[in-house]
Amino acid sequence: MTAEITALRPVDNEDADRGAAPLATWGVPIDVAVEDVSRRFQDTPALEGVSLTVAAGELVALLGPSGSGKTTLLRILAGLDFPDSGRVLFGGEDALSMPVQKRHIGFVFQQYALFRHMNVYNNVAFGLAVQPFRKRPSRRRIRGRVADLLSLVQLEGYEKRYPSQLSGGQRQRIALARALAAEPRLLLLDEPFGALDAKVRKDLRRWLRELHDRTGHTTVFVTHDQEEALELSDRVVVMREGRIEQIGTPDSIYDEPASPFVAGFIGEANMLPVTVQDGRIYLDDRPLELFPTGFPEGKATLVFRPHDSVLAPTTGGTIAARVIAERRHGATRRLETEVGIARHRVEIDVPVGAERPAGGRITLKPTRWRLFPGHPEG
């Protein structure tokens, strides 16, 4: 999987001599802008006022639970669906007036959508073979290009196989090779690893990242797997119910979530209903040694991650908790606890050998935490 990725031979050298239409703009990554895009399906809004920019060569993840509109947005970028309002710009040009064929995108479908009646060679060559006669590369060029792409995806010698004779991971890579064949300006992937088992996912993920670094395509991919989004992308777009919750680098999304939803969806997070008063945070009328700055008084949600808290001595200002279960969690031990009168569930990670008082009563203190207005939902 991690073998050296060969450089791609450009399609157009030889064919430029034939007086063919210039292919120079192909494969050159473009920047993409989505401006205030909305889309409704019957009565259900799928996208509501979504705006987003993707820089040329950037790798962006659209992350969200199912029904968040991420696939709809991807299909609108591809030209397979159209918004009710808003604009989509490719390199500053209006993309909505271009049909899907003219957008020069490469789309990798969730179930790959390989042409089952064609062998691997014809699948990969399809994007070149269907070009209008004047633009179409010669047979020899196509053969060379397919060979390059198959070596790029490390499936040399598979030309004669049919999709039904390939494993899931191999199909995925052929789908990618097919999408790259016509040198797309923008690569779109819909749940690219969704149908694969965990081990293959991990390998392919790393491989795709390397491929992107090599080829430099502007890439947008859809996923519901936060780990995938964080590991693979330059920036993550977190979506929820047709709106964008937050856009940011993996670090900022993880460390500075803009809402309790983002905190809970990206990684794990504890959420406690608290009250802010006199510059202090109160949990069930007990003040905590946590001091928010410039936060409006009233109901708030205290958010912290299991690994961002420590066992603290039983002095004032800590959170009293009762351990109800514990289990091994990688290198640490995960304690499931109940906190406060309403028995809020809080999980913390402690070192495996950490000493703690008998009887299951502990006190803990968040080391990194965030505060959001209003009490947690549900």
Partner 1 sequence: MTEVAIAAAASARLRRRAVTTEPASVRTVLIAVAVVFLAFFLLLPLITVFVEAFRSGLGAYLAAIGEKDALAAIRLTLLVAAISVPANLIFGLAASWAIAKFEFKGKSFLTTLIDLPFSVSPVTSGLIYVLLFGAHGFFGPWLQSQGIQVIFAVPGIVLATIFVTFPFVARELIPLMQEQGTRDEEAALSLGATGFKAFFRVTLPNVKWALLYGVLLCNARAMGEFGAVSVVSGHIRGQTNTMPLQVEILYNEYNFGAAFAVASLLALLALVTLAVKTALEWQFGGSLAATGNRH
3-state secondary structure of 43: coil
CB 141 within 8 A of CB 116: no
- State both tokens at 206: 């790393």
Which segment (75-83, 293-301, 322-330, 363-371) binds partner 1 by CB under 8 A? 75-83
Q: Assess 212 for contact with partner 1 (CB under 8 A).
A: no
Restricted to residues 145-174, the positions that interact with partner 1 (CB under 8 A) are: 162-165
Q: Does 21 bind partner 1 (CB under 8 A)?
A: no
Measured CA to CA, the distance from residue 306 to residue 187 in angstroms comes to 36
Q: Which residues contact 225 (CB under 8 A, 6 or more apart)?
A: 63, 193
Shortest distance in whole angstroms from residue 166 CB to partner 1? 11
The residue from 50, 78, 230, 348 that contacts partner 1 (CB under 8 A) is: 78
217 binds partner 1 (CB under 8 A): no
Closest CA to 304 of 372, 357, 354, 352: 372
Only one residue has tokens 């945070």, namely: 281
30 binds partner 1 (CB under 8 A): no
When asked if residue 131 is in the footprint of partner 1 (CB under 8 A), the reply is yes
Query: According to DSSP H, which parts of 163-320 are helical?
Result: 168-180, 198-215, 226-232, 250-255, 260-265
Which of the residues 87 through 116 are near partner 1 (CB under 8 A)? 100-101, 104-107, 109, 111, 113-116
**Taking the complex as a whole, how short is the minimal distance between the CB of residue 61 and partner 1, in angstroms?**
20
Q: Which one of 130, 325, 352, 354 is in contact with partner 1 (CB under 8 A)?
A: 130
335 forms part of the interface with partner 1 (CB under 8 A)? no
Measure the CA dihedral 271/274/276/279, to 10°. -70
Residue 108 or 311 having the CB closest to partner 1: 108
- Residue 327's identity, in one-letter code, is R
What residues have CB less than 8 Å from 253, skipping those under 6 apart? 230, 236, 238, 246, 262, 266
Name the minimum Å distance from CB 78 to partner 1.
Answer: 6
Q: State yes or no: residue 319 binds partner 1 (CB under 8 A).
A: no
Helix-strand-coil split of the chain, %, nearest 5: 25, 35, 40
- Residue with smaller CB distance to partner 1, 163 or 250: 163
Segment lying near partner 1 (by CB under 8 A), choices 125-133, 242-250, 268-276, 334-342: 125-133
- Can residue 254 be called a binding residue for partner 1 (CB under 8 A)? no
Closer Cβ to partner 1, 97 or 164, answer by number? 164
- Of residues 179, 222, 238, 303, which one binds partner 1 by CB under 8 A? 179
- How many residues bind partner 1, per CB under 8 A? 29
- 74 contacts partner 1 (rule: CB under 8 A): no
| Residue placing its CB nearer to partner 1 in the complex, 95 or 335 | 95
Output the smallest distance, CB 130 to partner 1, in A. 4
Q: Name the 3-class secondary structure at 210.
A: helix
Nearer to partner 1, 107 or 207 (CB): 107
192 lies in the site for partner 1, by CB under 8 A: no
CA–CA dist 323, 73 (Å, integer): 44
Question: In 3D, which of 227, 362, 254 has the Cα closest to residue 308?
Answer: 254
Closest distance between partner 1 and the C-beta of residue 215, in Å?
17
Smallest CA-to-CA distance from 145 within 23, 4, 6, 9 is with 9
133 is a site residue for partner 1 (CB under 8 A): no
Quick one: 78 or 271, whose CB is closer to partner 1?
78
Write b or e for each residue in 86-108: b if 16 or more Cβ atoms lie within 10 A of its Cβ, otherwise e.
Answer: bebbbbeeebbeeeeeebbbbbb
The footprint of partner 1 (CB under 8 A) covers 78-80, 100-101, 104-107, 109, 111, 113-118, 126-127, 130-131, 162-165, 178-179, 181-182
